[in-house]
Chain A
Amino acid sequence: MSDLLDYVGDDLSSTAIIVLLAVLVRVLTGLSLYSGAGDAPKYGDYEAQRHWMELTINLPVRKWYTDSPVNNASYWPLDYPPLSGYQSWLCGQAMRAVEPASVELVKSHGYETPTSKIVMRWTVIAADLLVYFPACLAAVYVFYGSSSSPSALSSSTSGSAAATARRARVLALIALLFNPAAIIIDHGHFQYNNVSLGLTLAAAAAIGAGRQLLGAALFSLALNHKQMALFFAPAFFAHLLGWALHSERHRGVGPKILMVSKLGLTVIATFAVCWAPYLSSKEAVLQVLTRIFPVRRGLYEDYVANWWCTSSLLIKWKAKFPAPVLLRAAAVTTLAAGAPAMAHQIMGRPAQPIGGGVRSPTRWGLLRCMANSAFAFYMFSYQVHEKSILLPLLPITLLAGEEPTLAAWLPILAAFSMFPLLERDGVSLPYISLCALYGAVMAGPALSLARQLHRAQASSKARRRSGWLKQAVTGLSGWALRHWVVLASLAVAGNLGLHAARLILPPPERLPWLHDRAFITAAFGGFALTSIYLQISQWLEGGDGGRGPAVKTQRKCD
């Protein structure tokens, strides 16, 4: 097999080019429309972000979260944690410098001029450049090592271990930087998910590099930028706890307690810094909290490819049960779905070969746990957006060197699951081209890497010590990889078929939501399979020096 990535090295200039192209793709995506463009009076997420800039630079910090005539709770109130507010303030300053009218208090509602749109778009790209890109580079460096082989741009050594490592590195970087779902939401639809995702990624990288306290602080920052980062909280909590309990560095009860409290203090201190302006009174804090966690919204929004929304076709959850019951049910199921992965992290891993007690969980385990807990939240928690799929995607794209095929198609499926939203935003064209781009770049290399990893797996370690589960998964993944081309073509054909049906056939009178339903049901199938596979792989992970099993599950077949 020859593909483009054979000719892409992981040295400085190749990485620079990849980053440059990533910026290019973002700029090009930004040429399209955005959420709520020209859609008075409420507009969309673009207006929400602009409105926050308007609020934050015109009002004192203490008034940001307080209802007032100029800060109306019904017109895009600031409902993200303070760090988002600070970031809005920064971006607002940039907007004011370029076009003062664009952030004038109240008068600027629905302000959409070409120049202000350019500045808005560039603030997102700047956030990428300042937070997300560095985090990606750091995470790839930590998890896949530095570019050891100097064989920059030199091919034909495929097969050797160095080439596999290089390919894994490049693949992970590309997956992180060109994830179509993330690009289209941030740069097409318009949001700043890249900040909180970037901070989370940086936290994972810090922990992976052995800087757990820094990781805890960074993750707290992520939480303070967007409460959605809570999806990852169980993973970080469990991993850090497991580390504090089992690391060789702190033996005995005293050091363990000390470590746990150090972690706790770091988190509290970070939160305190972020919340400093509101800590003077309890009311202020509560005011912010009620804005951030609006329980009054429903179980899910629009069409989400999660459990509640998909199964509501059969069981009308919202109609049958009162909101508090659903809230509790959601909490319980989420916890239950996230618990196994958490337990795995807290328990640590058995030291090998025999005896010697328990060692701290691996960084790869952290990534899998992040994916699992994010999926648990996406599938079962209360008030989930379709955009929340970006969260499970983050650890999965970083896992691209370990789970290449999964990382190759899940982002596309995620974009697919959001298509009803994207179509409304008028970003169907970027959707098509970003998915095609990602698929074209990733599919071939991912498959060949997956086959390589699988071969290595099957030949060396699996023989020696492996339970029935591992053997079953290895066998299944081997089967899937052998028939990969067929499976993938079937899935792509299914997706295209749904798109074609949506384009050509008008839905029946009585079922106007038929197409949206079809989309999310198909996506849900894929997500559920992935989630089950990830749960299993979490428990298979960890014996062999941090290299997880190189397998993948079956692809969703529509």
Chain B
Amino acid sequence: MITNAGAFLQLAVIATAIKLLLVPTYRSTDFEVHRNWLAITHSLPISKWYIEETSEWTLDYPPFFAWFEWVLSQIARFVDPAMLVVENLEYASGRTVLFQRLSVIVMDAVLLAAAYALARDVSSDDASSRPGGEGKSKPKKLQGLGLQADVAADQTTAAPATTSHSASIGRGHGNSSIRSESSGSNMRRSIVLFFLLSCNAGLLLVDHVHFQYNGVMMGLLLWSLYAARSGRHLLSGLLFAALLNLKHLFLYAAPVYFVYLLRHYCCEGTVLGPACAEAESGARSSTGKGSSKGSSSTRKGFGLGRVVVRLALLGAGVLAVFGVSFGPFIMMQQMPQVLRRLFPFGRGLLHAYWAANAWAPYAAADKLLAAALPRVAPWLGLDLEKLGLRIEPGAANMAGGLVRVSRFSVLPQVSPAATALAVLLALTPCLAALWAGDGRPGYMRRSIVRSVSYSFLSGFVFGYHVHEKAVLVALLPLAVDAVLTPSAARRFLLLGTAGNYGLLPLIFRPQEYGTKILLFLSYFFVSMVALGSIHAEVQLGPREAGVADDGAALQALFSPSKMQDGSTSPVKSGLERRTVKSPMKGAAVFGRMTKLYLAGFLAVELYVSIVHEAVPALRRRLPFVPLMLTSVYCSIGVLTVWVDMATEWVCEASLGWRKRRKH
């Protein structure tokens, strides 16, 4: 348990200090966007908010965000009233810049607080799962494939033996009790989680250099997840509804929230309050017919009534949130206009700079085909015209520096509906698994974060007109699992590296080059070492982790199989063989390949920022290559993580449903 908040406070101050140092850096047009919104919300009546278009950066966030800007503008008034004039386009006085920058830094308190709450939660969570704990729930360390459940049980029973053994050979470090060891490692877990959430390099770059308010919204999301983990389902749902009204990007997680609330709030258990998630058991719900109302009404007669009450409560709450947000615009009959602003069509599948998702390789392949086919076709004796392909001469030229594709020239076009379908399809196994559960208590507590992260990742991978920044929304929740299970840690590192690297082109001035690279590198190294130290402990038992050097810790993280080769002393290798009993074989699809992939980033960076710049011929003839290479290379990592998670959900869903059928 955490006795004091010293380390968290230190980390919070460090994060804030870094943000302060970033104040003089480059600001993207988003700075002007937000200044304009300050001006609009401050000086115009609500009826004009979504109509005003003096600036090209019209208000296109949902109403809660507009209100957020309105609140900020009440303070901005005292700082520099000139920034609140709609006609003052591109206005950026020193005080304005400082005010806007500081507003982001101050509002990040929401994120810090949420990170702290989650960090505490994770630590208490794990303490109870320890063999000596109250044992009210199974260990959350391994929540990978369903198969791993048995392994997890194995490991927990093996842990005490390991600990005592290694403590006895603990080289005079003092034979501290297992209990204090475990609380020490729990403390480390929480601190690492707090670090991962509060110092994310990508978030720092996007919020405090590029300029946006993602920190606040990520904070709200984390608060919602925290509420879900601690069994306060209604609160969690309402927070998420509020979040949706701040930024509609979060819509991708709506299906998961819908199923989660329906299943675990409305149709679940008997008592209200925190015990709800714990009370879940396979026996109670498995005999149900699978329809929403049947599942819990089998056991208790009045269950149905309770379901209706809760459904009404939830519906009323969500409707109230949306009503407060959109109500005024409905009253003013502006909804079509507001929706047009929120969901602008015709922006194209891809953003100017391709986000590192599934469409990046798709578009790259299209480019390559467009360039190659006209030359190769005659050789193969193909007639492109007959095949129905008409490649315009300029299609493969791509003279512009920006990689912009409005129409694919060879491959089929991708419509918004198709992307929506793809996202829903990707979500299906996750939703099915959520509904089925795994028959053990605390399922929701273990799965909610992972499922939300997965749904954002799916949205990022298949979504229409996705921004590269959206990867952060999937990445941050993943951190919660990363401190709990080694497989999630690997995913987190891979997604973090690929996702954050994909953000770097946003900050393109040479002045900030060192800043962005160093921020990225520092975050990568610190999180790698920190996560490595946690999970080395999980595998080797707390004491052994101290003896194993850091290299081994990292090795453990990246290539678990290598640990068994036993390059270390006989005593240790014996221990390892006992404890590292393939706790994560299922997820260890990478290892050497991951390392190779990560090293590849070095090559990409070398090409992008040195070779490409140094060779004029490359710059002239292939100006688009750096950005394309970056997004395609990053997309490999992102897609790997997505495939990994998706496979896991498919397995979990099939396992869950099989179990239900058995009962």
**Which residues of A line the B interface, CB within 8 A?**
1-4, 6-7, 9, 11-14, 16-17, 20-21, 23-25, 27-33, 114-115, 117-118, 122, 150-157, 159-160, 162, 429-430, 432-434, 436-437, 439-441, 444
Contact = CB atoms under 8 A, between A and B. Distances in A.
Contact of A11 (B184, B515, B550): B550
Minimum-distance CB pairs A-B, first 6: A440-B13, A154-B546, A28-B21, A433-B17, A433-B20, A156-B184
Interface in B509-552: 509-515, 518-519, 521-522, 525-526, 529-530, 533, 545-547, 549-550
B181 A114 contact: no
B598 interface: no
Given A29-B21, A429-B21, A24 B518 contact: yes
A1 B4 contact: yes
A4 B191 contact: yes
B140 interface: no
A112 to B, nearest CB: 13
Nearest to A437: B17
Contacts of A114: 509-511
Secondary structure of the B contact surface, majority rule: helix
B176 interface: yes
A4 B7 contact: yes
Contacts of A27: 514-515, 518
Contacts of A12: 550
Given A20-B525, A21-B522, A152-B549, A437 B13 contact: yes
B511 A4 contact: no
Given A20-B521, A437-B14, A150 B24 contact: no
B16 A13 contact: no
A32 B98 CA distance: 13
A315 to B, nearest CB: 40
B22 interface: yes
B13 A436 contact: yes
A468 B154 CA distance: 63
8 contacts: A4-B6, A21-B522, A29-B21, A32-B24, A153-B530, A154-B546, A157-B173, A436-B20
Contact of B522 (A14, A20, A154, A437): A20
Contacts of A162: 173
Interface of B: 3-4, 6-7, 9-11, 13-14, 16-18, 20-25, 173-174, 176, 180-181, 184, 187-188, 191, 509-515, 518-519, 521-522, 525-526, 529-530, 533, 545-547, 549-550, 554
B11 A4 contact: yes
A109 B429 CA distance: 67
Contacts of B184: 155-156
Residue in A14, A29, A122, A437 with the greatest tally of chain B CB atoms within 10 Å: A437
User: Which of A4, A162, A444 has its CB near the most chain B CB atoms (within 10 A)?
Assistant: A4
Contacts of B518: 20, 23-24, 27
A17 B515 contact: no
Contacts of A150: 546-547, 549
A31 B180 contact: no
A440 B10 contact: yes
A6 B522 contact: no
B522 A152 contact: no
Nearest to A115: B510
A444 B5 CA distance: 12
Contact of A14 (B173, B174, B529): B529
A433 B10 contact: no
Contact of A152 (B10, B16, B21, B550): B550
B7 A433 contact: no
Nearest to A13: B550
Given A31-B24, A429-B24, A440-B9, A153 B547 contact: no
A250 B515 CA distance: 53
Nearest to B5: A2
Nearest to A6: B7
Contact of A160 (B16, B174, B180): B174
A3 B5 CA distance: 8
B237 to A, nearest CB: 35
A545 to B, nearest CB: 21
Contacts of A28: 18, 21-22, 515
B7 A440 contact: no
Nearest to B518: A24
B525 A17 contact: yes
| Interface hub of A1, A11, A153 (most chain B Cβ within 10 A) | A153
A115 B20 CA distance: 23
A473 B519 CA distance: 44
Contact of A433 (B21, B174, B529): B21
Contacts of A432: 20
A11 B545 CA distance: 13
Interface centre among A1, A17, A152 (most CB of B within 10 A): A152
A422 to B, nearest CB: 14
Contacts of A16: 525
| B9, B20, B181: most-surrounded residue (chain A CB, <10 A) | B20
B17 A434 contact: yes
A13 B526 CA distance: 9
Given A17-B522, A20-B522, A156-B181, A31 B10 contact: no
- Between B7, B16, B181, B515, the greatest number of chain A beta carbons within 10 A of the residue's beta carbon is seen for B7
A174 B377 CA distance: 64
Given A2-B7, A436-B20, 14 more contacts: A1-B4, A2-B4, A2-B187, A4-B7, A4-B10, A14-B550, A21-B526, A24-B519, A28-B515, A33-B24, A118-B513, A122-B514, A433-B17, A437-B14
Contacts of B509: 114
A434 B18 CA distance: 9
Contacts of B526: 17, 21
